[in-house]
Chain A
């Protein structure tokens, strides 16, 4: 079974702090994604990566950065947390696009509250 794990289920941070959200997958997937999910807005893509050290902006990259130093690990960084970044953050991974099975597999989510 594909396993995607996220470092924290719940996180509370103060405005202005630097925040790291970690995601690890154990299926040797090439692609990894960070989404945020908000009521009424659904899931929105923040960043994705299709290879080590490669990254692409999604729909809402402002205020975020990412790091992918190893294939299995994809980190989301909030450089200076703000209250409007309070949200549920979901990490996902998938095999290389165009393969026989390119489903996206999601982690359990991190509920981040910025006060």
Chain B
């Protein structure tokens, strides 16, 4: 059974810092990995999708990397801003077997960027 863990559970940083959020998963047989952002009481916004054959994806100040063999992904946020404050979730789509196509989510990292 796929399990996804995100560390740290919460992070508070001053504005302007570069930061890294971590995601690990137990079963390396994945199809892709997706990073989401969730604001309080709202739905999820997709940030980046990395296919299993890719090593990284970039969008603006965000860079996500994937090391499938070790079961790890990181989300790097450059020059953080107060508007980046949110919960960040990673999710993996498992490949094969009875869990084919299912997304398994981590518990999320609550990020606070203070001015």
Decide if B107 touches A42 in the complex (CB within 8 Å). Answer: yes
Decide if A42 touches B106 in the complex (CB within 8 Å). Answer: yes
Decide if B89 touches A109 in the complex (CB within 8 Å). Answer: no
User: Does chain B have a CB within 8 A of A104?
Assistant: yes
Q: Which single member of B32, B36, B45 contacts A102 (CB below 8 Å)? A: B32
Q: Which single member of A33, A42, A104, A107 contacts B34 (CB below 8 Å)? A: A104
Partner-B contacts on A (CB < 8 A)? 4, 31, 33, 40, 42-43, 45, 48, 50, 58, 88, 90, 92, 97, 101-109, 111
What are the 9 closest A-B residue pairs judged by CB atoms, nearest first? A106-B44, A106-B43, A43-B105, A108-B43, A109-B43, A103-B49, A42-B107, A103-B46, A42-B105
User: Does chain A have a CB within 8 A of B31?
Assistant: yes
Q: Closest residue to A111 on the B side, CB-wise?
A: B41
Partner-A contacts on B (CB < 8 A)? 31-32, 34, 36, 41-46, 49, 89, 91, 93, 101-103, 105-108
**A–B complex contacts, Cβ < 8 Å, 13 sampled:** A4-B43, A42-B107, A43-B91, A45-B102, A45-B103, A97-B101, A102-B32, A102-B49, A104-B34, A104-B103, A106-B36, A106-B45, A109-B42
